[in-house]
A and B are shown apart, each in its own frame.
Chain A
């Protein structure tokens, strides 16, 4: 008998109604190759755009001659800054209240910056035409080293900004208490200092960025197809930037081939496509290639950190951090307005510190703009990397086991909710429990024995520890907005007469499984099977307003919204059930899918019958409208604070210095898990990214600002051969303020894994080679240099 979908060994009786391991609804189209990604969309009359980019990192533009390109038979237009100026679009605002050139007019400020936009009948001709545009440049000295950006003789990058006299991108940002921290350090018995770099890397989703803009001059409607993580916010931005009517803009995201923060910003290519369509009156498609993606779109990290950590009586007591943040040529970091350094000040970590002090200074350099991306939770990747590396260094200095030091210093369960020295209020946690589960899965004591035995034989094995607390689910409207838009998200739920439902959300999946997990939330709250709940998303015309998906906010915010809206519907259903059953609402009790009479459980009303009733002509409860639906905009009371204990086991070849990640143990606590299968999947993916960042992913530049990692030949992403079989565990400590008790989780694995791996490399080399610090990426060459006693920071 053939194996068919019907007789697969997970029968429908095992399908949960509500939370649980449910196979994904969205798989059906993807496994058939029937997803609709941006490049799959073809519209009648559509033309193709391509961007000419600067070969120089810093240069004056002397002249641009587009005549040869215009003479190409398949070229419709060539747009330069001059043309955009007449539309007021040569510059656009960024998410951090800076401005960014859409097309360079006076100068180019990073290699790969957009200089001209060609529109042609087909993609091949558009690229051919790029070769026919003649630009004369006058190269200028480039600033590539962020530490030198504020030198008195550094060339001024942003001479376009009135009053800008240096390369400072934003004023100094501080958190914590400097004086209290000084006192704590004065009283400490151990102090460790490190210069720690989190190098520039890139989210590099497999699908590059692009847009189809389709302006209808007859109706004034602008239809946009665009993979982006915050479609409503983008729509508002376009309305302001292009002077368009916001309600006449429709953005459809369809299927997105990965985001990881790369698809949050508004890119010049988008504005060019929109401008092109408005002027030409036909759809304009622009899709970048991989080099463009790596060279010009939102990079991640690039934090140069100087830190000191101290301990007294075996417990961590204080932390001081001073950061230079490299923002590139334009400040387009994406984070809430009041937090220009994102949430970096959560670097106080999982420890009951007495004091801490954090300073962050952002500078301009002649590199691509960005910084907040790649599952960073608004700079929490940098923060956790910093504190966990410092704790590892402290353990080395003190000669104590790194897990023991952490256990002694953890915030204790009874201290929650816990206010940190930099102003966070962690919601819930039992850190010791999670750490112990990790130790058990890893067989920690056995690993240490193995390590000692191997060391005798000259084999290098390292065990690295990382424990992180992060804050996700931005955020409460009184504290958190982006460009003045509160970070709330909406949910609309309608139950139809047949009892089937549609829930519309403002979160924007790029692979996170929303079509399944949000249906599961409705299922959990209302008892409607997930296959009967359609999740609608990715279309600004048909979904509520919200700030989208990044910063692991889908479950904390949109998940909260869907829970609350489902409960609203359930409450309405209760009133209707009381009418149906001719009793009072307070006499009814709920079991999944049904209101029934307390004391007479046979007497009840199923949710689908309540729905049918609500649309019929039969009498509704006093003062209540017909139908069974509700609407919510959810304002989270706080962030949620997931945490985890990670253990990495590495082997290092003593002669070649090549690092292999043999095992990776990850125990996450993200509160209640809606779909454990999807949570595990998110963690696997983030761990692979962490391996990439720790061992091989980096964006570097030479002295002239040439980008050295602008293709997948040199921006190396781990394959299946570099990733071990991840070993996961879980603890569940519910979030006290979230309607479902859930916390976010998507970014945790990327937050927690790089420090564990680097810690393992140091652990492997400390006793034999005296290594007590190394920066990422831990390539064979860089590890070898550290073994020779010459660890070098990355370029």
Chain B
């Protein structure tokens, strides 16, 4: 088996301690949580950090709770916990949709939401999920906390708004009435990265979609926010035609690259189909909620 290069290791005992270490050790230090993005890269010698700061003992970062009108998820919450959470499934069923098809059940016991979002792979399902539900990221540094909207969190391939000496600690999702959400993905085989994936959330009041979030994974350099699609849908009554049109916009507005998973035209097509399906399902869930 391939093996990582040498590095120094320390275990963080507090969030502030981890941040202090990050600051002290500089850019050659990386945080390790689940490790299922970082360690494979280190084994392939694609990543060679000199220091690893293990944050797995920071139980205070592992939670899913409702607070001040938001659902708050600690960065260290594991994929398996996100899948199992009834609270999360009740408010944002797209998380469960996505978690069923993220990696495999064994990897899900270790991988975390913080790790996935910070890895910032354009094909990461949770990135589009969090974007669609208008989540925000809580980033802590030695100077305190700041909050970054998901729309501004992923800035490029494998690049996030988390700066040197900073750490993602929490994801917050505003709770609003009349919401429904869904995530649709097509992959070559169970556990594979998406060829394309679409996350959709709608909020419906009196038969009209008052707000929507549509985001795509794997069809751009980073998460694709289908803002034109959201605009189309906002203020309209849901219909099959509407979903179809939103899908067309999604297909047009994404920028997939050809690779082993598929060529550009198929990925665009898929983005459109999955956007339509996700909107359809999100709406159905929102309406069930109303009745």
A binds B: yes
- Which of A's residues lie within 8 Å of B, judged by CB? 123-124, 127-128, 131, 289-291, 655-658, 695-696, 700, 708-709, 713-714, 716, 718-719, 721-722, 779-781, 784-785
| Total of A-B residue pairs, C-beta within 8 Å | 57
Bound-state Cα–Cα, A123 to B5, Å: 12
Task: Indicate whether A718 sits within 8 Å of B3 (C-beta atoms), given known contacts A656-B273, A700-B260, A781-B262.
Answer: no
In the bound complex, residues from chain B placing their C-beta under 8 Å from that of A291 are 2
B190–A719 touching, CB < 8 Å: yes
Which one of A127, A708, A785 lies within 8 Å of B260 (CB-CB)?
A: A708
Pick 9 A–B contacts, CB within 8 A, sort by A: A123-B3, A289-B2, A291-B2, A656-B186, A708-B260, A709-B260, A719-B104, A719-B190, A781-B267
Q: Does B207 contact A (CB under 8 A)?
A: no
Bound-state Cα–Cα, A658 to B189, Å: 10
Q: Does B191 contact A (CB under 8 A)?
A: yes
Q: Does B266 contact A (CB under 8 A)?
A: yes
B260–A658 touching, CB < 8 Å: no
Majority secondary structure, A binding face:
loop
In the bound complex, residues from chain A placing their C-beta under 8 Å from that of B261 are 781
**Chain B interface size range:** 20 to 34
* Distance between A402 CB and nearest chain B CB, rounded to angstroms: 28
B269–A784 touching, CB < 8 Å: yes
Residue of A nearest to B192 (CB): A716
B2–A696 touching, CB < 8 Å: no
A658–B266 touching, CB < 8 Å: no
B5–A128 touching, CB < 8 Å: yes
**Could you list 20 further interchain pairs (A-B, Cβ under 8 angstroms) beyond the known A128-B5, A709-B260?**
A123-B3, A124-B3, A127-B2, A128-B6, A290-B1, A291-B2, A656-B273, A657-B266, A658-B186, A696-B188, A716-B189, A718-B189, A719-B190, A779-B188, A780-B186, A780-B195, A781-B195, A781-B261, A781-B266, A784-B266
In the bound complex, residues from chain B placing their C-beta under 8 Å from that of A695 are 189
In the bound complex, residues from chain A placing their C-beta under 8 Å from that of B188 are 696, 716, 779-780
Bound-state Cα–Cα, A131 to B45, Å: 10
Which one of A655, A696, A722, A779 lies within 8 Å of B262 (CB-CB)?
A: A779
Bound-state Cα–Cα, A569 to B3, Å: 54
* Distance between A41 CB and nearest chain B CB, rounded to angstroms: 16
Which one of A123, A657, A719, A784 lies within 8 Å of B189 (CB-CB)?
A: A719
Bound-state Cα–Cα, A695 to B189, Å: 9
- From 192 to 231 in chain B, residues with beta carbon under 8 angstroms from any chain A beta carbon are 192-193, 195
Bound-state Cα–Cα, A131 to B1, Å: 15
In the bound complex, residues from chain A placing their C-beta under 8 Å from that of B195 are 780-781
* Distance between B123 CB and nearest chain A CB, rounded to angstroms: 11
Q: Does B263 contact A (CB under 8 A)?
A: yes
In the bound complex, residues from chain B placing their C-beta under 8 Å from that of A290 are 1
A719–B191 touching, CB < 8 Å: yes
* Distance between A314 CB and nearest chain B CB, rounded to angstroms: 39
Bound-state Cα–Cα, A660 to B69, Å: 42
Residue in A656, A695, A785 with the greatest tally of chain B CB atoms within 10 Å? A656
Bound-state Cα–Cα, A658 to B192, Å: 14
* Distance between A210 CB and nearest chain B CB, rounded to angstroms: 11
In the bound complex, residues from chain B placing their C-beta under 8 Å from that of A781 are 195, 261-263, 266-267
In the bound complex, residues from chain A placing their C-beta under 8 Å from that of B6 are 128
A722–B190 touching, CB < 8 Å: yes
Bound-state Cα–Cα, A276 to B133, Å: 60
Residue of B nearest to A39 (CB): B1
Q: Does B270 contact A (CB under 8 A)?
A: yes
Residue in A127, A291, A721 with the greatest tally of chain B CB atoms within 10 Å? A127
- From 218 to 273 in chain B, residues with beta carbon under 8 angstroms from any chain A beta carbon are 260-263, 266-267, 269-270, 273
In the bound complex, residues from chain A placing their C-beta under 8 Å from that of B2 are 127, 289, 291
In the bound complex, residues from chain A placing their C-beta under 8 Å from that of B1 are 289-290
In the bound complex, residues from chain A placing their C-beta under 8 Å from that of B274 are 656
Bound-state Cα–Cα, A123 to B2, Å: 9
* Distance between B236 CB and nearest chain A CB, rounded to angstroms: 22
* Distance between B289 CB and nearest chain A CB, rounded to angstroms: 27
Binary contact readout B1-32 vs A (1 if CB under 8 angstroms, 0 otherwise): 11101100000000000000000000000000
Residue of A nearest to B189 (CB): A716
Which one of B104, B193, B266 lies within 8 Å of A780 (CB-CB)?
A: B266
- From 97 to 114 in chain B, residues with beta carbon under 8 angstroms from any chain A beta carbon are 104
In the bound complex, residues from chain A placing their C-beta under 8 Å from that of B263 are 781, 785
B273–A655 touching, CB < 8 Å: yes
Bound-state Cα–Cα, A457 to B186, Å: 23
B190–A721 touching, CB < 8 Å: yes
In the bound complex, residues from chain A placing their C-beta under 8 Å from that of B266 are 657, 780-781, 784-785
In the bound complex, residues from chain A placing their C-beta under 8 Å from that of B3 are 123-124, 127
Bound-state Cα–Cα, A781 to B190, Å: 16
* Distance between A620 CB and nearest chain B CB, rounded to angstroms: 58
- From 150 to 198 in chain B, residues with beta carbon under 8 angstroms from any chain A beta carbon are 186, 188-193, 195
Bound-state Cα–Cα, A41 to B163, Å: 47
Q: Which 4 A-B pairs have the closest CB atoms?
A: A781-B262, A721-B190, A781-B266, A716-B189
* Distance between B257 CB and nearest chain A CB, rounded to angstroms: 13
In the bound complex, residues from chain B placing their C-beta under 8 Å from that of A779 are 188, 262
In the bound complex, residues from chain A placing their C-beta under 8 Å from that of B190 are 719, 721-722
* Distance between A194 CB and nearest chain B CB, rounded to angstroms: 23
In the bound complex, residues from chain B placing their C-beta under 8 Å from that of A716 are 188-189, 192
B45–A722 touching, CB < 8 Å: no
In the bound complex, residues from chain A placing their C-beta under 8 Å from that of B192 are 713, 716
In the bound complex, residues from chain B placing their C-beta under 8 Å from that of A657 are 266
Bound-state Cα–Cα, A718 to B192, Å: 11
Residue in B191, B260, B269 with the greatest tally of chain A CB atoms within 10 Å? B260
Bound-state Cα–Cα, A700 to B188, Å: 15
Residue in B104, B186, B261 with the greatest tally of chain A CB atoms within 10 Å? B186
Residue of B nearest to A123 (CB): B3
* Distance between A207 CB and nearest chain B CB, rounded to angstroms: 12
Residue of B nearest to A720 (CB): B190
Residue in B6, B188, B267 with the greatest tally of chain A CB atoms within 10 Å? B188
